[in-house]
Structure 1
Amino acid sequence: MSGVYDDGFLARTEAGLKAALPRWGLAPETELSLLTISENATFRATSTGQGDLVFRVHRPGYHSRVEIGSELAWISALRAGEVVTTPRPVPLRDGSLIGDLDDAGTLRHVVAFEFVPGAEPAADAELAGWFRQLGGIHATLHAHARSWQRPDWFTRKRWNFASMLGGRPLWGDWRAGLGLDAAGRAHLQRAVDLLERQCATMCEHAGNFGLVHADLRLANLLVDGTKLALIDFDDCGFSWFLYDFAAAISFIEHEPYLPELQDAWVEGYRAIAPLSAEDVERLQVFVMLRRILLTAWIASHYETPTAHMMGTAYTDGTLVLAERFLARFG
């Protein structure tokens, strides 16, 4: 769905959320400030009484209530097992974890989390150190996903070739990439065809495919001193475990320091779990898969600040990376 977050829509969203605040025990006059607009809209509620909360108002038509409940179930399990540091979901006064807003007849799901201090890590000389820590975190998450007994009703999206670049794309058709002309589409088609063949060789079995965060990019990491917290499990779902690395380098795939980040991530991962030389080689397959997926996302979510900032330059960079990918794997 594109063109959702215009000024009128955001004003209605904020007004609806403000009216719903008492259901979380907050006064209607509690100050709300918009934090981010990406897939969803997130707001910070500044409260002097019980601490700040972060509210996520879901984009209409993306996740069902059961899917959101499944995300929160995984977060709760991770917190209970002290697997990772991530904010606590905050229930409504009636004990439920998911609220609803009526937006002119459209149901909007809302969840709240405790506010956790921290800032996005900077893309500087310290980033490799955080990626070393992130590699260990990913390995720990993957081990948990393999052993955790999910509830019978657990439902999350499947991130595979068909749902990313194939016939059932969740984030739009990559062919609609901003600024992509006929020659560019033909060039990317060759890369997509190669990705399809590569994905077909990697069977979706429990050893290499399972529940992943799928979006631990820099914006979803919170650095506070030496601590690293994870946020925004909204895209968690079933995919290849190695896809988590590609998600981690979203929007910086073209940077010259990428090899250093990959080496650090691999080192951190191997400190917790095995990672073969073949696995390391395949990381670049998932990087290309994610890059083209994000090229489609930018086109289908162009009204969001992140997509608008990337614009056609991101598509141009995707074409360059596709040429390198074809030379390496074609």
Structure 2
Amino acid sequence: MADFQANTRPFAELDRAGRTRRLRRLAEAALTEYDVPVARLTPLPRGRNTAFRVDGADGHRYVLRIERPDGPSVAQVRSEMAWLAALGRETDLAVPRPVPTRERQAATVVADPAVPEPRTCVLYRRLEGRFLDERLSAPQLYRLGEFTARLHRHGARMNGLDRGRADDLTAFGRAQVDGFSDTVVDRAVALAGGDEGVRAALARVRAVRSALGFGADVFGLVHGGLHQENYLFHRGRARVVDFDDCGFGHYAYDLAVTVDAFTHLPHHAELREALLDGYRSVRPATFATDPAVLNAFVGLRRVQLRLRELDDHP
């Protein structure tokens, strides 16, 4: 009886484990679109999307990512895959390599009766390595800084991609012409229970954005989520995964995401300096590492995460 009830309950009422079980069937259907012999499918715990590790009978490992229903559009996901493919062709940066479908498509859309809406799915080669947190070291952050600068340098050459802004405050802001308009800020303050500290943080970042402008030296394609769950290390090299939040923004935003995510560590000041030194070793003439600029974007990131939490748990 319990299994029957679990299978008939509305998808929205299921916990993460229950939704993952439903989405596993959808993942199996998606994999039939690829020329990959599947030996085993294992759910991965990280990220806002649902993902499965795919052990291929060919000896290779892959990751199948199922987009959340409020995530990027199919066209936007294909643009993400186009950037990853270009990075694979044109650089030696360690990023996931997309696997096309049998029809040579970068993504596939799959439906299952047990899931309310069709989902966009992508498959890419799995990167080996270790995710670190408390054990992060200054040399590792230096290498991540180098990686980030090279990523930005490449992203500046990618034109015509269908990606939104990486620094949108909320879904409401994303739907507006100006994602930082007074109306958007008022809504953000209201969502935060009237906290005027949110307005002050956003005023600081608005002033910094205005001073920086939007030239190619300060603004372009960024990863959008460079925290510890999205970068790993293998044989001394930094590797970056999960470009699902990639979009256009100020380069300082990417660095701010990284900095804010390790502020709980006792050696965070040392890590911050190493990250910025590594970045400057590739892009020496940059405003992205200026302390006032970076601190303003750290404030933006904290507001983003707070509003996202409130949006997810109204």
TM-score by length of 1: 0.78
Aligned to 1:159: 166
User: After superposition, what is the alpha-carbon deviation per residue over 1:261-298, rounded to whole angstroms, capped at 9, x for unaligned?
Assistant: 22111211121121457842211111111111111223
Q: Gapped runs of 5+ residues in structure 1? A: 304-330
Q: 1:250 to 1:100 in 2, by over 3 A?
A: farther
Structure 2 counterpart of 1:63, from 53, 57, 72: 72
1:136-147 to 2 correspondence within 5 Å?
136-146=146-156
Within a 5 Å distance, the mapping from 1:240-279 to structure 2 comes to: 240-275=250-285, 279=289
Matched residue, 1:36: 45
TM-aligned CA distance change 1:278 to 1:238, over 3 Å: closer
Mapped contact 1:266–1:280 kept (Cα < 8 A): no
Residues 47/159 of structure 1: CA separation in 2 closer, same or farther (3 Å cut): closer
**Correspondence 1:223 to 2:228:** no
SS in structure 1 opposite 2:282?
Answer: coil
Q: Separation in 1 of the partners of 2:96 and 2:46?
A: 19
1:212 to 222, 226, 230: 222
CA distance change for structure 1 residues 258 and 139 in 2, over 3 Å: closer, same or farther?
A: same
Q: Distance in 2 between matches of 1:4 and 1:251?
A: 29
Gaps of 5+ in 2: 1-11
1:129 pairs with one of 134, 139, 147:
139
Matches within 5 A, 1:1-330: 6-26=16-36, 30-104=39-113, 106-124=117-135, 126-146=136-156, 148-150=157-159, 152=160, 154-160=161-167, 163-164=168-169, 168-169=173-174, 174-175=188-189, 182=194, 185-275=195-285, 279-281=289-291, 282-301=293-312
Say if 1:207 and 1:50 are closer, same or farther in 2 by CA, change over 3 A.
same
Are the counterparts in 1 of residues 217 and 286 from structure 2 also a CA contact under 8 Å? no
Count, aligned residues: 291
Cα distance change, pair 276–53 in 1 and its aligned pair in 2 (3 A): closer
Shift of 1:79: 0.9
Specify which structure has the bigger relative contact order, considering alpha-carbon pairs within 8 angstroms and separated by 6 or more residues.
1
CA–CA distance in 2 between the matches of 1:216 and 1:59?
Answer: 19
> Which residue identity is paired with 2:164?
K
Which residue identity does 1:159 align to in structure 2? Answer: A
My pick for the range that moved more, 221-230 or 18-27, is 18-27
TM-aligned CA distance change 1:278 to 1:90, over 3 Å? closer
CA distance in structure 1 between the aligned counterparts of 2:134 and 2:31, rounded to whole angstroms: 36
- Kept in 2, the 8 Å contact 1:87–1:113? The answer is yes
RMSD, aligned α-carbons: 2.9
